[in-house]
C-alpha cells in the first residue's frame, strides 16, 4: 500500500509517498519558505522537480504540490496528515470525515498558527483524492497519557472546563519516532526505559517517557510554554504579561507577537532566530549571543533533571531536531552538570550526528525524528484490510 504523507509546518510543507508496511519512500518532497517570494519546491525519487517562485500561503502551496502529484494519483492508496492540535476531541489517529473536519475547525483557537495549514492540507488532498481514505495523526495525541496532575493548571475549574484549558503538549509524533529509534540503539523497546527526549529545532520541546508512555511535556496549552525557542520566550512569570499591559500599554495582540515571534534566542541575542548564527556570534565574542545560548541550554538542562526526578531516574537521554542533531556545542552545554545522573559525553563521539555519544552509565543518543514514517504507519493500520 502506498501512502501519501502531508506534513504542513509553520513555513514549509514536507511530503512523502511511502510503501507500507515496508516503510520504503517512493518519493519525497519539500516546499520551503511558504509566504515568501523565493519559495522553493523540490521533489526527489520517482518524480524529479526543482521549482522556484512565490507561494503566498499554505493553501496555495498545497495546491501546487497536489497539481505536481496529480499524475501519481493512481499510485496512491491513502493519505496521512500531520495535525498539530487535536485537543480532547481527537486523542488518537483517526479517519477523516466531516465530523473530524468540524473538530479541527473548533480547535483552531488553540493552535491558530498550525491547525489552519494542517486543515488546508486535508482539504486540498480531499479535492485531489476524493475516493481515498484520509487519516489525521495528531501531535497532541501522544501526550494523551499524561496524568491529571501533570496536565492540570492551577486555575478555577469553571475556567478549565469552559475554555478547555490544560497542558496538551506538542511534537508528539516526533517523540514516538525518537523514543523508538533511541531505544533500538540499545537493543531495547521504549516500554523498557525511562527516556528524556529533547526535540531541539526552531521549536523546542522536552518530553518524559516512562516505559513507553508520555508522562510529562514542556509545551502546554500552546507551544509557547516550556524551553527557550528560536522566537518564543518559553516559561515566564504570567504576571509579566499583566505588568506590560498595565504599565507599558501593550495590547494582547502585540504581546502575542512579541512572545511568539520576537523572543527566544532571537530576542536575547538581537542577532538571529537561526541558532547557528547565534552560536557563531558567541564564538566571536558577542556577549548577548552567549547569554542567549547559556539561557537556552541552562533551561533545557533543568528540564532534564526535573523529568529524571518525575520518573524516579533516567535510563536514556535522546537528542533530535535540527539543533539536537547538528550542534555538538549545544549538546555539551546541556549535559554539563548532569554527571550526577550518569550522563557524560564522549567528546569524540559527540561530533556525530547520529548514534550513542556518551561514555557514562546513562546512554545519550542522537537520532533523526521521522514523523512521516509514524504517520504512514498509523494510516496503514487504520485503512489496511483486516
What positions carry a catalytic annotation? Answer: 139
Distance CA 304, CA 226 (A): 12
C-alpha cell at 182: 533511541
Query: If you ran DSSP here, which 8-state letter would residue 156 be given?
Result: -
Q: How does DSSP assign 92-149, residue by residue?
A: S-EE--HHHHHHHHHTGGGSTTTHHHHHHHHHHHHHH-TTS-EEEEETTGGGGG--HH
Closest among 316, 320, 318 to 368, alpha carbons compared: 320
Q: What is the DSSP string of 225-259?
A: SSS--SS---S--HHHHHHIIIII---HHHHHHHH
Q: How far apart are CA 275 and CA 227, in angstroms?
A: 14
SS3 73: helix
Rounded distance between C-alpha atoms, residue 239 and residue 271, angstroms: 27
Asked whether the CA dihedral 305, 307, 308, 310 is positive or negative, the reply is positive
Measured distance CA(196)–CA(304) in Å, rounded: 7
Alpha carbons within 13 angstroms on the beta-carbon side of residue 186 total 25
Q: Give CA torsion, residues 16, 18, 24, 30, to 10 deg.
A: 0
CB distance 3 to 79 below 8 Å: yes
Contacts of 157 by beta carbon, 8 Å cutoff, 6+ apart: none
Q: What distances in angstroms separate CA 378 from CA 134, 230, 261, 294, 382, one per listed residue?
A: 11, 30, 33, 39, 6
Amino acid at each position: 500500500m502506498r501512502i501519501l504523507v502531508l506534513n504542513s509546518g509553520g513555513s514549509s510543507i514536507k511530503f512523502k509517498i511511502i510503501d507500507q508496511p515496508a516503510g520504503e519512500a517512493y518519493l519525497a518532497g519539500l516546499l520551503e519558505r511558504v509566504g515568501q517570494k523565493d519559495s522553493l519546491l523540490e521533489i526527489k525519487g520517482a518524480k524529479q522537480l526543482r521549482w522556484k517562485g512565490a507561494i503566498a500561503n499554505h493553501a496555495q502551496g498545497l495546491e501546487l504540490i497536489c497539481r505536481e502529484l496529480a499524475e501519481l494519483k493512481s499510485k496512491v492508496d491513502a493519505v496521512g496528515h500531520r495535525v498539530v492540535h487535536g485537543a480532547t476531541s481527537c486523542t488518537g489517529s483517526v479517519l477523516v470525515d466531516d465530523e473530524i473536519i468540524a473538530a479541527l475547525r473548533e480547535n483552531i483557537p488553540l493552535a491558530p498558527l498550525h491547525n489552519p495549514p494542517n486543515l488546508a492540507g486535508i482539504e486540498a488532498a480531499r479535492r485531489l483524492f476524493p475516493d481515498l481514505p484520509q487519516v489525521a495523526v495528531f501531535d497532541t495525541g501522544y501526550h494523551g497519557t499524561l496524568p491529571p496532575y501533570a496536565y492540570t493548571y492551577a486555575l478555577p475549574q469553571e475556567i478549565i472546563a469552559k475554555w478547555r484549558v490544560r497542558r496538551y503538549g506538542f511534537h508528539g509524533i516526533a517523540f514516538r519516532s525518537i523514543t523508538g529509534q533511541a531505544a533500538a540503539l540499545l537493543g531495547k523497546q521504549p516500554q523498557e526505559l525511562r527516556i528524556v527526549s529533547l526535540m531541539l529545532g526552531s521549536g523546542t520541546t522536552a518530553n518524559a517517557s516512562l516505559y513507553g508512555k508520555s508522562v510529562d511535556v514542556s509545551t502546554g496549552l500552546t507551544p509557547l510554554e516550556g524551553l527557550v525557542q528560536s522566537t518564543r520566550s518559553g516559561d515566564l512569570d504570567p504576571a509579566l504579561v499583566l505588568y506590560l499591559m498595565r504599565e507599558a500599554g501593550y495590547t494582547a495582540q502585540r504581546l502575542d507577537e512579541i512572545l511568539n515571534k520576537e523572543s527566544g534566542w532571537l530576542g536575547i541575542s538581537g542577532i538571529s532566530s537561526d541558532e547557528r548564527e547565534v552560536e557563531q556570534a558567541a564564538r566571536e565574542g558577542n556577549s548577548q549571543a552567549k547569554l542567549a545560548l547559556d539561557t537556552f541550554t541552562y533551561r533545557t538542562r533543568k528540564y532534564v533533571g526535573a523529568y529524571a526526578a518525575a520518573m524516579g531516574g533516567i535510563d536514556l537521554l535522546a537528542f533530535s531536531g535540527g539543533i539536537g542533531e547538528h550542534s555538538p556545542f549545544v549538546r555539551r552545554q546541556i549535559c554539563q552538570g548532569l554527571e550526577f545522573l550518569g550522563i557524560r559525553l564522549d567528546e569524540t563521539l559527540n561530533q556525530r550526528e547520529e548514534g550513542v555519544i556518551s561514555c557514562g552509565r546513562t546512554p545519550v543518543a542522537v537520532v533523526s525524528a521521522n514523523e512521516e514514517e509514524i504517520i504512514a504507519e498509523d494510516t496503514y493500520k487504520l485503512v489496511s484490510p483486516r
